[in-house]
Amino acid sequence: MQKRKLGESGLQVSAVGLGCMGMSKGYYSTPGDRQEMVALLRSAVDRGVTFFDTAEVYGPFANEELTGEALAPVRDRINFESSDFRNLVPRFTPEARKANLAFVDLLRNVAARKKVTPAQVALAWLLAQN
């Protein structure tokens, strides 16, 4: 698994992270079975994933408890990000969201032309960055 430097801290994380939304609370679907989610998290670590994104808003605290339980045996091999990221980053201000939506539309158009999902296009672009 490739590594990326996270910000200016020098922290090295896997190039691909795992977002944990939906594992303990479903916004768009039923949350995953707890034991299946534990197995999924541990499998991700076995494949080299060291960066996991979780937030209190996914619970409250239920998501952190789930990831903590699943990853306790491999705690020394991973990194956590726990915050409401969208409230801390300027690119998610109301003004910037309009520009972000234009980018999402572009991703959808490219994905349709390539006959893949927008997520696949976004991930390919991300992994191509140095």
* Token reading at 111: 């994905």
Whole-number pLDDT of residue 119: 85
> Identity (one letter) of the amino acid at 38?
V
110 and 62 in a common domain: no
- Residues 128, 101: one domain? yes
**111 and 81 belong to one structural domain:** no
| pLDDT surpassing 70 at residue 68 | yes
Look at 130 and 95; give whichever has higher pLDDT. Answer: 95
What amino acid positions are annotated as catalytic residues?
Answer: 58
pLDDT at res. 89: 66
CB burial class (10 A; 0-12, 13-18, 19+) of residue 36? exposed
Predicted local distance difference test score (pLDDT) of residue 109: 95
81 shares a domain with 93: no
Same-domain check for residues 28 and 81 = yes
Query: Does 114 lie in the same domain as 53?
Result: no
Average pLDDT, the chain: 82
Token pair in block for residue 61: 């605290």
Count of Cβ atoms closer than 10 Å to residue 124 Cβ: 12
Long-range contacts for 5-8 (Cβ within 8 Å, ≥24 apart)? 6/51, 6/79
Token pair belonging to 127: 């992994």
The model carries a pTM of 0.59
Number of domains in the chain: 2
Same domain, residue pair 55 and 105 = no
- 4 shares its domain with 15: yes
Domain with 113 in it: 89-130
Are residue 125 and residue 99 in the same domain, yes or no? yes
Q: Pick the residue with more confidence: 12 or 84?
A: 12
| Residue 68 and residue 97 in one domain | no
What are the start-end ranges of the H helices in 47-130? Answer: 62-71, 85-88, 94-114, 118-128
Say how far apart CA 20 and CA 25 lie, in whole Å: 10
Percent of the chain with pLDDT over 70: 82
